[in-house]
Structure 1
């Protein structure tokens, strides 16, 4: 704390009595003394073991709050899963091909389903949603009866989120579908004997949803058009996942 500069008194005007100047000087000294006392009091307060103890208690309360919040989300996810199983018989009771009908009744998902997909989706008997914490995100599981198209009984799509609140997706990992010979709904491979190669023809299909998507490990490249196409594809895929 800087002391009062007595040279400043020279700037006072000659008006008024010497007693007035003495009173002003005395008041300034009192203000300086009070300021120093308050400064020392604050130093003592923040160095006080009592204050440090209270801060530790507050930190502990915050930790307990965070632990309870995490437990709440964990138990809520378990409760949602439990009641999803209880609701399931009500959804499918008396409705032939329930999940095919349900998916087709959603405008955004219906656009992904082709006529060729419909018969395969008649074997879909359940869809299960699960929140995940490691990694953060969610998983969709599609349960199928035995069918003439593929040997998998469960197809999954797992979304890894960078920030779930901001809907920022890192990647989406899908199941590789084990198509039975000649039954693939997503592509057709024909051998080209002249070129001694196999030509692949891609098809639009709902089952393309199970393809994996992720941002390359080295980040986006220099091809802005390709980067934008990948970004749009990931956003569309995520929107479909949310709709389901």
Structure 2
């Protein structure tokens, strides 16, 4: 019949439907092409860096609010800034008095630290009364602990040993990031370490770390020192940069190594060929190697505010390590030896930490200093992996 509509055969589409499908496929293809182009572009280091820099430049950009404030309001804001500078100067004086208190109380601590040193070295044997100590586990477990049928492991320390052998070396090795600084060839030297002392200084303001050693086959020195200068002054040029005391300089000492005993270097033999007559010769060159004793040869402070990233990282680590010795390690040495030097404040919830280990690059570089959520370094106890945050007071 003429009036009947012509229907497409089964499996065929109308022209309009086909056109719509073609348009849809084209849109999908175009979207896919754009996504691929963007994805490929972001894989290019230069493009990705440019995007990141642009986004970074947007951070902290003014909304125009302050610039459009009436002049009388701006005038009052300037007055508030002057008040802020005065407050920072008061804070600076506060830290100066804190340092004076630290110097005063250090003499009171010294009496106890000296006694600790005599027990560690074996020059003094504590009385029975001084040795009385009940472990928390002993109180909780009581009789149940006595009934345990466990055989004690044989001690590597002889019964007649003097003092506490390798006390300071063992305590340092119990701290993850400090342990990473101690090489295998450092250990025989550090076995002679008998005491680590702290001394505060007034002029310049700062502190000195003193490492005492028994006579040994490695160097002639009996004391190795590391000096740190600390400032808590408000700069006239940039007063709002003041954020409390900060280490500004560290100075080591010369180690008088005995012949062929310097663990901070090794001798390398290299073959050289003469350019003129072609003859070869073997030369011996001294090469610096990783060692804990590089601690006494700190990196130099770069001139101005800029420096190579690697240099600044090493400098920051050196400062933080000095503060860690001052604030944590020396006062709590016995707790680092036993593995108990962990504070509740240093614990992090798993939800907060997330993938920090992967993002921070922990485990990639033996000299790497992991960061807390506030950007401060941590020194972790090897036994339990919990962080020990290093803070300047």
1:114 and 2:217 matched: no
Counterpart pick for 1:144 among 187, 191, 213: 213
Secondary structure at the aligned position of 1:139 is classed as strand
Q: Is the 8 A contact 1:192 1:198 kept in 2?
A: yes
1-side partners of 2:316 and 2:98: how far apart? 29
Provide the TM-score with structure 1 as the length reference. Answer: 0.62
Find 1:219's aligned residue among 256, 281, 304: 304
Q: Which 5+ residue runs of structure 2 have no aligned equivalent?
A: 1-93, 123-162, 234-242, 273-280, 326-393
Identify which of 186, 200, 205 aligns with 1:131: 200
1-structure distance, mates of 2:282, 2:305: 35
Whose radius of gyration is greater, 1 or 2? 1
- 1:130, distance to aligned residue in structure 2 (A): 1.1
For this pair of structures, how many residues does the alignment match? 175
* Separation of aligned partners in 1, 2:99 and 2:321: 27
Q: What is the DSSP-based 3-state SS (H/G/I as helix, E as strand, rest coil) of the residue aligned with 1:171? A: strand
Aligned residue among 288, 296, 314 for 1:202: 288
Q: Distance in 2 between matches of 1:90 and 1:160?
A: 31
SS in 1 for 2:118: helix
The correspondence for 1:240, drawn from 317, 321, 346, is 321
- Rounded to whole Å, the distance in 2 between the matches of 1:154 and 1:191 is 33
SS of 1:213's equivalent?
coil
Q: Give the drift of 1:162.
A: 2.4
Query: Separation in 2 of the partners of 1:112 and 1:70?
Result: 29
Q: Which residue among 157, 172, 177 is the counterpart of 2:250? A: 172
Cross-structure match for 1:100:
169
Tell me, yes or no, if the aligned pair for 1:220 and 1:227 is still in contact at 8 Å. no
Q: Pick which of 104-113 and 114-123 moved more.
A: 104-113
| Coordinate RMSD, CA, aligned | 3.0
- CA gap of 1:139–1:125, structure 2 versus 1, over 3 A, is same
In the alignment, does 2:257 pair up with 1:228? no
Distance (whole Å) between structure 2 residues aligned to residue 213 and residue 67 of structure 1? 27
How many Å apart are 1:202 and its aligned residue?
1.7
Change in CA separation of 1:235 and 1:198 when aligned onto 2, cut-off 3 Å: same
- SS for the counterpart of 1:150 is coil
1:81 and 2:110 are equivalent in the alignment: yes
Structure 2 counterpart SS, 1:117: helix
C-alpha distance in structure 2 between counterparts of 1:68 and 1:159, whole Å: 18
* Correspondence 1:37-52 to 2 at 5 A: none
Return the TM-score normalized by structure 2.
0.40
Instruction: Give ranges in structure 1 of 5+ residues lacking alignment.
Output: 1-64
CA distance in 2, matches of 1:148, 1:111: 24
SS at structure 2 position matched to 1:185: coil
Paired residue secondary structure (2:308) = helix
- Residue 203 of structure 1 and its aligned partner are, at CA, apart by 1.1
Q: Which has the higher helix share?
A: 1
Does the C-alpha gap of structure 1 residues 156 and 70 become closer, same or farther in structure 2, counting only changes over 3 Å?
closer
CA distance in 2 between counterparts of 1:131 and 1:122 reads 26
